[in-house]
Amino acid sequence: MEGDGPPVNDCCTICHDNFSIPCQANCSHWFCGGCILRVWDHASALRPCLCPLCRRPISLLIPTESSREQRANPEVANIIGRIELYNRQYGERSSDLMQRLRDLPFLLRRLLRDLMDPQRSLPFIIRARIYLAVFCSVIYVLSPVDIIPEGVLGIIGLVDDLILVLICFLHVAALYRSVLVFRHGTHGG
């Protein structure tokens, strides 16, 4: 699938070589699976490692589908297994609002790609909740009924619309994060 792997002609910023078992972190940076796990091994095993590039906590590692399909190789299976362990340990932890806001572009970009790809499937209940949240947000934003009316307060009246859209995006991202943690935190998911 296009867009499922690291950028073409890019290399791992840890080993400076071609990617081996490429993984994307929740900060959107790409690393070799083994390289980012070594970073975690040398940091505290009781908390997520920090991205070597942007220093944000990595709470989710997403290996490419092609890497997951190579599980017959014992080395690949070991690394994918450790990535799944990492995701089980840190993927569902409640993070603060700032971390959720920083993860929003990564999660929404992946979600949009999953929704547009006929080869990918999201559970029906998750898909339905996503569409319902987006639909309700659009209806609220377009409706003349507002908590803070635009006609009375002008541009300040848009604040409630923006807050509601942000809450919708955060909810959708949290739903999708749970799908990713399940998909990449369980063997063969």
In a domain, 147, yes or no: yes
**Side chain identity, residue 131:** Y
pLDDT at residue 159 greater than cutoff 90: no
Higher-confidence position of 84 and 156:
84
**Residue 34 resides in a domain:** yes
Contact between residue 50 and residue 58 where contact means Cβ atoms under 8 Å apart: yes
Asked if the structure places residue 11 within a domain, the reply is no
> Which residues make beta-bridge pairs with 57?
50
* pLDDT at residue 151 greater than cutoff 70: no
**Is 14 within the bounds of a domain?**
no
* pLDDT beyond 80 at 177: yes
Query: Above 90 in pLDDT, residue 22?
Result: yes
Q: Is residue 104 part of a domain?
A: yes
Residue spans of alpha helices (H) in the chain: 33-42, 65-68, 74-90, 97-116, 124-142, 150-153, 159-185
* CA distance linking residue 114 with residue 120, whole number of Å: 6
Is residue 72 scored above 60 in pLDDT? Answer: yes
Most confident by average pLDDT, 47-51, 65-69, 153-157, 158-162? 47-51
61 located within any domain: yes
pTM more than 0.85: no
What total of structural domains would you count in the chain? 1
**d(Cα 13, Cα 34) in Å, to the nearest integer?**
12
Residue 182: Cβ within 10 Å count: 16
Q: Which domain holds residue 135?
A: 22-185
- pLDDT band per the 50, 70, 90 thresholds, residue 1: very low
Q: Is the pLDDT of residue 29 over 90?
A: yes
Nearest CA-CA partner of 90 in 54, 57, 49, 48: 48
- Greatest mean pLDDT range, 49-53, 93-97, 115-119: 49-53
pLDDT value, residue 94 = 62
